[in-house]
Structure 1
Amino acid sequence: MNKLQELVDYLFNSIPSIYLIIGSTVIFIVMTTFVYTMRAKAANQPIQAKKIILPPLFMSTGMLMFLFDEFQVPWIQVAEASFVGLVFSTFLIYTTRFEMKEDGIYLQKSKAFLVILLGLLVIRMIGKIVLSNTIDVGELGGMFFILAFSMILPWRVGMLVKYKQLEKRTK
């Protein structure tokens, strides 16, 4: 663990912050494109409860980042990031709808999802540019992870509730 910590320390101290900000923004844009593409493909197949539950479980492994000092976030910032994530999740919960077809339950395609996703991208980039002047890049990465997890977990729970309600009505 010490060797890994030394490597993380070296990388964060030798790479200028602006490159870390640009790199993480490019990665976020790629991930946003990937998520939207996956969502569009998912709308063409019946959805199952497992497909709703698994993404937050897979994402939770990212919490391991907090084992490293560079990513640790003070509790007040954890609360702030969690609150912002919860606020954003309400839009996703509200706009996520299911429909029943002859062969199963489908996720409805929504233009609002793309608008919300792009809005989050813009807000994230602005936030990163503004906050990177006062908050360390690693800490900022930890905050954005907390924000994303705090948004995805309630959204997926809301999706699961809506899915189960529709499933119950159809049986």
Structure 2
Amino acid sequence: MPAFSNATLQLLSTLVIVIFALMVIFVRLHAAKKPTSARKILIPPLGMTTGFLMFAFPFMRIPLTYAIIAFLFGCLFSIPLIASSKMERIDGQVYLRRSPAFIIVLLVLLILRLALHTYIESYVTIPQTGSLFFILAFGMLLPWRVLMYQRYRKFVNQSDSTLRSVTES
């Protein structure tokens, strides 16, 4: 494996972060065109848990306090995502309503993440920075998806009981 300088690794990691963030925005915008389900809401955090296997490698490990702080910052960053996620029923199907603020929220989070990335890399290694930001991303995704799932269940149950009462009348 060729040796890369820290500056090259930092540039490559920043490019990867930007590409993935733009992909997430693109995927989320297209997902809003299709009905959602409990499965579609819960699979991303479940799939992301496999990323914790990175901690099997010693060079990826970070102190527990760093991990807790990263997770808590992720939870804090999930608040705008939670606030901008709404659901609606169209032709009996549940859709995530596209919020104009959603793209802005994701772009602001990306800029914050990039700014923090540079700061944190001055204190830990580049692989450890990746570990921290994986935990931060998981901290953003988990509460957002859990609350979205709770809202989805409530929305479906309310809609079903409303439909039953209208049908029975």
- Relative to the length of structure 1, the TM-score reads 0.89
Q: 2:111 aligns with which of 122, 128, 146?
A: 122
Q: Give the residue type in structure 1 aligned to 2:42.
A: I
Is the contact between residue 86 and residue 151 of structure 1 (CA under 8 Å) also seen in structure 2? yes
Q: 1:58-73 to 2 correspondence within 5 Å? A: 58-73=47-62
CA drift of 1:169 comes to 0.7
Secondary structure class of the residue paired with 2:94: strand
Instruction: After superposition, give the CA deviation of every residue in 1:85-126 in whole Å (9 maximum; x if it has no partner).
Output: 110112211111001111300000012211111111111111
The aligned counterpart of 2:140 is: 151
Instruction: After superposition, give the CA deviation of every residue in 1:55-114 in whole Å (9 maximum; x if it has no partner).
Output: 111111111111111210101101110110110112211111001111300000012211
Q: What is the identity percentage for the equivalent residue pairs of Structure 1 and Structure 2? A: 34
CA drift of 1:22 comes to 1.2
CA drift of 1:15 comes to 2.1
Q: 2:64 aligns with which of 44, 63, 75?
A: 75
CA distance in 1: counterparts of 2:125 and 2:131, whole angstroms: 10
Segments ≥4 residues shifted beyond 2 Å: none
Q: CA RMSD in A?
A: 1.3
Secondary structure class of the residue paired with 1:107: strand
CA distance in 2: counterparts of 1:114 and 1:126, whole angstroms: 18
Uncovered stretches (5+) of structure 2, i.e. residues with no partner: 161-169
- Relative to the length of structure 2, the TM-score reads 0.90
The aligned counterpart of 1:25 is: 14
Is the contact between residue 21 and residue 128 of structure 1 (CA under 8 Å) also seen in structure 2? no
The number of aligned residues is 160
Q: 2:128 aligns with which of 127, 134, 139?
A: 139
Q: Which has the larger radius of gyration?
A: 2
Secondary structure class of the residue paired with 2:52: helix
Secondary structure class of the residue paired with 1:161: helix
CA distance in 1: counterparts of 2:138 and 2:122, whole angstroms: 24
CA drift of 1:140 comes to 0.8
